[in-house]
Structure 1
């Protein structure tokens, strides 16, 4: 199967060292949820093609090199002179990442209709996060997802600071879930994503179940942090696996790497959802023990799972 991963590739500026009150040192890491998933899929040995807009500036060249080094094919990528998008990252005491974005007129958000390929029914399209929400290109992403023949998976990956209006944000997400449901696709969100979208942190699985039925999804996956992950299927079927106890360095790329591990396993055996969830949870457990989004290889993941 060919995985086509659509969405943003950007630079995460992460604090490294305070030199003086006037100066600090930062690291520019290659990031962006969809790009992280593409890299993770390729490192797991999957045929992975990145569908994104890559700048010709210095940061864009870094992102291009990062994708190529991981074995991600760039035949579907778009080259642009738009500046690379930036995310300034801060970490709390538990290593959880928070983001502040610099996106106006940057590469990821200026999609044009003619920049999307025609995918086949045996392709798998994975997309998500900010490029599917932020204009002016988000409408063209929705149009692409709405007409593609490929089965799709969508990682909601809410970033409230980019669109603080919950109602408007959920309206965009709902349109994308409806598009994914055309071909019986899959949607993934964290419990925190769902709590913010619906302004209710009581029972994320109940919302997942309602959306599976309303939008015709084959599955809605809810990541639950240290409590593992659950998949809700039509008819109220829930499959849940536990998380792993590991020493967390930071959570950058955890959800993105989970999706790669899950999709890699699910594509090879769609009948065993529990095994696919376990594969994804193990991949995420490895990446949070590392600084930045550094997903495991297939050999590392196999060794971790024993």
Structure 2
């Protein structure tokens, strides 16, 4: 199966060292949720193709090089002279990442209708994160998801600093879940994503069940941080696996890597949801022990699960 991951590739500027009150040292890491997922799928041995808009500037060349070095095919990516998008990363004392974005007029958000390929039923389209909600390209992404013949999964991956209007954000996510439901697809969100969208942190699995039924999804997956992950079916059945105890360096790329681990197993055996969730949780746990989004190989995940 060919996995096509659609969305943003950007540069994460991460703090490395404070030199003086007037100077600091930063490192420019290749990032973006979809880029991370496509790289993680390739590291897990899957046929992974990145569908994104890659700038011809120096950062864009870095992103393309990173994808190709990870084993990702860039044959359906779009080359553009738009500048590369940048995210400035802040880490709290627990290694939890937050982001400030510099996006206006940049590469990821200017999709044109003729830039999307035709996918068939043997493909798996995974998309999500910022590129699915930030204009002007978000409407093009929605149209593409609606029209594709591929199997579909969507990672909501809320970024409130990009679109602080909760109602507007939820309306966009609702349109995307409706499109995914048209394919009986899969939606994934963290418990924090759901809490922010509905302004209620009491029952993320209840919302997941309601949305799975309302939108015709086959699964709604909720990652629960240290408490593991759960998949909710539209009939209310819940499949849950526990979290893994690891020494966390940072959480950059954890959700993206989870999705790669899950999809790599689920596409082979969709009847064994628990095993796919466990594989995703293991991949995410490994990436949390590393600085930045450095996804594990299939052998590393196998060893971790053993």
TM range (shorter): over 0.9
Match of 1:24 in 2: 24
- Taking the aligned partners of 1:114 and 1:131, their CA distance within structure 2 comes to 17
- Measured after TM superposition, the shift of residue 235 of structure 1 is 0.7
Question: Could you report, residue by residue, the CA deviation over 1:199-219 in whole angstroms, capped at 9, with x for unpaired residues?
Answer: 000000000001001100000
Are 2:163 and 1:163 equivalent residues in the alignment?
yes
TM-score, length basis structure 1:
1.00
Q: CA deviation at 1:302?
A: 0.8
1:190 equivalent in structure 2: 190
Cα distance in structure 2, aligned partners of 1:303 and 1:275? 15
* SS in structure 2 at match of 1:234: coil
CA contact (8 A) 2:209 2:232 kept: yes
**Inter-partner Cα distance in structure 2 for 1:179 and 1:20:** 50
Q: Distance in 2 between matches of 1:120 and 1:265?
A: 20
Counterpart-to-counterpart distance in 1, 2:40 and 2:235: 32
The residue that corresponds to 2:239 in the other structure is 239
Match of 1:173 in 2: 173
Cα distance in 2 between the residues matched to 1:34 and 1:152: 14
What is the match of residue 291 of structure 2?
A: 291
Q: Who is 1:280 aligned against?
A: 280
CA distance in 1, matches of 2:233, 2:126: 19
Q: Does 1:45 align with 2:50?
A: no
* 2:70 pairs with 1:70: yes
What are the residue-to-residue correspondences of 1:62-211 with 2, within 5 Å? Answer: 62-211=62-211
> Offset of 1:143 from its aligned partner?
0.4
**Aligned partners of 1:301 and 1:221: how far apart in 2?**
20
The 3-state SS of whatever aligns with 1:76 is coil
Aligned-partner Cα distance in 1 for 2:250–2:74: 28
Partner Cα separation in structure 1 for residue 19 and residue 93 of structure 2: 20
**Equivalent residue pairs, number:** 306
Q: SS where residue 29 of structure 1 aligns?
A: strand
2:95–2:249: 8 Å Cα contact kept in structure 1? yes
Distance 1:164 1:98 in 2: 14
Q: Secondary structure at the match of 1:268?
A: coil
Unaligned runs of 5+ in 1: none
User: What SS is found at the alignment partner of 1:125?
Assistant: strand
- Answer whether contact 2:210 2:234 (CA < 8 A) is retained: no
| Offset, 1:283 | 0.2
Measured on the aligned residues, the alpha-carbon RMSD in Å equals 0.4
- Does 2:6 align with 1:6? yes
Task: Please give the secondary structure, in 1, of the residue aligned with 2:161.
Answer: helix
Superposed structure 1 runs of 4+ greater than 3 Å apart: none
TM-score, normalised relative to structure 2:
1.00
- State the shift of 1:122 in Å: 1.3
- In the aligned structure 2, how far is the partner of 1:139 from the partner of 1:235? 31
CA distance in structure 1 between the aligned counterparts of 2:293 and 2:193, rounded to whole angstroms: 20
Which runs of 5 or more structure 2 residues have no equivalent in the other structure?
Answer: none
